């Protein structure tokens, strides 16, 4: 019995016989389908979506963003990761940021505030973009069609424009104050009279967002590949605009950029399925640890959404998050016990502290170093991260040959640094926001450091065969969302649309954020166990528990099933 009405919507399930795509905006999903119908494979389609989504969802991704792409090559059976995260510029230093009073905090990570919010907004805030290099590398390795053909939808959308919808118009309005600080951003994202671009109403046509400068930048990439962005005209324009406005991102930083490649990625087994994720600097290790902690508890026996099943989900993810905050970081700058944290033995040790009848919000990190193979001498301890989020986009593709791609891309905050580099149309990320502006920490701002994102692009195999691609935007809620969507599919037997639309929880500390659509019986059972619940309501205008999309291949019928969050314009499409 419900004591009040709640939002309870869903989207129709997509079913296809020839492959499917999923993206956070329908125009980007259509770009992927267009390329598949032209004879492209999943990698071509993913590149098409990756460039198009930055045109139609410019506040979350784009060529100024960073990306992590996970791929399964059906021909070889191998699994790969292209890590397009971006390092901080070579000339950056904490000395460039004037600290505010100790009591003042800012940004999504709530680091100590800086004068003019310089670590979050403006010309000092950008890391080296990695998305163009990651997408071009995927095309070069596995693509079938010419790059110019694959990028044609993105170029068309940029040069001819497209009509704003309520979703994009809403975010433009929320972020207008930051954008108004920079003339080039006003020129790019506002009407000529300086007023906001808006979606239409029953009396007016919507505004069109036309990005001619971005179209030229995309054409250079289509012609020259990644070199068309990282060297030559575009790189020089970005570097010149940075120098003219006090930024430190240089031509040399751009020209030196290379993505990182992980080939034959280790598989993580869960109940007979194999999970494929990037091994470093993202949400993958945290999801795997949570799954490992749950592995001995078959949640299907308790039923989805019951107090018992939800309690176990909460306790598993709480432990994984606590360990994440303590130990994870960039392994190129300090030892990270990532293999120890995702080991079955460490999960068994973590599981011992779970009480099936009582919440344990006081739980502390364990030490994963004894479980780490070949741990360096003297390794131990870790860091405590200040909690934060980022704004991202995610897309998936599986083609008729069962190639799979899952890719997450982000500018950091909405509209990244809020800076559009002059005459390029390139909105630059604010990668500096992931780092502490105060000196003395492993996560202090420093040259060459790469960000650790919450992005969790994920592929799943079943007995070695392609089964699912899934991911989400939504800051650290991505991690809890993908963890629970996997549990919904692999344990509860749901297909993607049901798994994604079902209510979720997020538990990284003593407070449990829980979707208002859970039953009253679940709320009461969790409170009896001692959980401190913060009931949250998902709406079209506000996402608090992430917004996944995913595609699954039914092993028995060969049909493709696609699903997307019911909140917002995210879309799954069959071919």
For the annotated catalytic residues, the residue numbers are 392
Look up residue 450 and give its two tokens: 């790469």
Instruction: Please state, in angstroms and rounded to a whole number, the distance separating the CA atoms of residues 235 and 245.
Output: 16
* 522 contacts 305 by C-beta, under 8 angstroms: yes
CA 138, 495, 479, 364 dihedral sign is negative
Residue 296: Cβ-neighbour burial (10 angstroms; 0-12, 13-18, 19+): exposed
Look up residue 24 and give its two tokens: 């956070």
**Cβ-Cβ contacts under 8 Å for 124 (sequence gap 6 or more):** 92, 96, 97, 118, 246, 247, 248, 432
Instruction: Please state, in angstroms and rounded to a whole number, the distance separating the CA atoms of residues 437 and 439.
Output: 6
| Residue carrying structure tokens 């891309």 | 409
Q: How many CB atoms lie within 10 A of CB 203?
A: 5
**Cβ-Cβ contacts under 8 Å for 413 (sequence gap 6 or more):** 107, 108, 120, 390, 391, 430, 433
Provide the CA 76 distance to its chain's centre, in angstroms.
27
Instruction: Please state, in angstroms and rounded to a whole number, the distance separating the CA atoms of residues 574 and 399.
Output: 10
Of the candidates 471, 391, 395, 473, the one whose C-alpha atom is nearest the C-alpha of residue 431 is 391
Q: Which residues pair with 83 in a beta bridge?
A: 68, 260
In 512-552, which residue ranges form alpha helices assigned H by DSSP?
Answer: 520-528
| Residue carrying structure tokens 């003219």 | 244
* 425 contacts 215 by C-beta, under 8 angstroms: yes
**Cβ-Cβ contacts under 8 Å for 374 (sequence gap 6 or more):** none
Look up residue 298 and give its two tokens: 């078959």
Instruction: Please state, in angstroms and rounded to a whole number, the distance separating the CA atoms of residues 92 and 385.
Output: 21
């Amino acid at each position: 019995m419900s004591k009040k009405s709640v939002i309870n919507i869903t989207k129709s399930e997509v079913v296809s016989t020839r492959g499917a795509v999923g993206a956070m905006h329908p125009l980007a999903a259509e770009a992927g389908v267009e390329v598949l119908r032209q004879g492209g494979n999943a990698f071509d389609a993913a590149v098409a979506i990756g460039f198009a989504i930055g045109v139609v969802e410019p506040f979350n991704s784009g060529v100024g963003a960073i990306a992590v792409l996970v791929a399964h090559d059906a021909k070889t059976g191998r699994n790969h990761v292209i890590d397009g995260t971006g390092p901080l510029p070579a000339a950056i230093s904490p000395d460039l940021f004037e600290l505010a009073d100790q009591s003042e905090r800012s940004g999504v990570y709530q680091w100590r505030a800086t004068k003019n919010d310089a670590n979050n907004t403006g010309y000092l805030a950008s890391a080296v973009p990695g998305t163009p290099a990651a997408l071009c590398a995927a095309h070069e390795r596995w693509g079938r069609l010419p790059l110019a053909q694959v990028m044609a939808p993105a170029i068309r959308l940029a040069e001819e424009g497209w009509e704003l919808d309520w979703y994009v118009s809403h975010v433009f309005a929320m972020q207008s104050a930051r954008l108004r600080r920079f003339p080039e951003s006003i020129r790019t994202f506002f009407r000529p009279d300086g007023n906001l671009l808006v979606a239409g109403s029953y009396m007016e046509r919507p505004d069109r967002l036309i990005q001619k400068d971005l179209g030229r930048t995309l054409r250079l990439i289509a012609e020259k590949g990644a070199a068309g962005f990282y060297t030559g005209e575009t790189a020089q324009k970005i570097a010149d605009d940075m120098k003219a406005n006090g930024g430190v991102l240089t031509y040399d930083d751009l020209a030196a950029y290379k993505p990182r490649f992980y080939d034959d990625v280790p598989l993580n087994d869960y109940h007979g399925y194999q999970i494929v994720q990037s091994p470093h600097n993202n949400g993958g290790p945290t999801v795997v640890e949570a799954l490992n902690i749950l592995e001995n508890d078959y949640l299907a026996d308790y039923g989805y959404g019951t107090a018992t099943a939800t309690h176990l989900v909460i306790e598993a993810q709480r432990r994984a998050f606590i360990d994440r905050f303590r130990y994870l970081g960039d392994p190129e700058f300090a030892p990270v016990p990532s293999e120890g944290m995702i080991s079955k033995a460490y999960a068994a040790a973590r599981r011992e502290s779970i009480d099936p009848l009582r919440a344990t919000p006081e739980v502390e990190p364990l030490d994963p170093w004894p479980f780490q193979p070949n741990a360096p001498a003297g390794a131990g301890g870790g860091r405590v991260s200040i909690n934060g989020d980022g704004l991202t986009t995610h897309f998936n593709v599986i083609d008729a040959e069962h190639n799979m791609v899952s890719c997450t891309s982000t500018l950091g905050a909405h509209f990244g640094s809020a800076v559009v580099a002059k005459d390029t149309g390139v909105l630059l990320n604010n990668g500096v926001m992931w780092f502490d502006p105060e000196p003395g920490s492993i996560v202090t701002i420093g040259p060459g450091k790469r960000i650790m994102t919450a992005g969790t692009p994920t592929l799943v195999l079943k007995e070695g065969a392609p089964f699912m691609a899934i991911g989400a935007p939504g800051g650290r809620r991505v991690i809890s969302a993908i963890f629970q969507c996997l549990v919904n599919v692999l344990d509860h037997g749901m297909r993607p649309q049901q798994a994604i639309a079902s209510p979720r929880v997020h538990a990284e500390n003593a407070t449990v954020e829980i979707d208002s659509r859970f039953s009253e019986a679940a709320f009461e059972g969790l409170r009896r166990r001692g959980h401190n619940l913060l009931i949250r309501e998902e709406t079209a205008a506000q996402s608090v528990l992430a917004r996944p999309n995913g595609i699954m291949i039914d092993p028995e019928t060969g049909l493709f099933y696609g699903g997307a969050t019911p909140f917002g314009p995210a879309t799954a499409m069959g071919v």
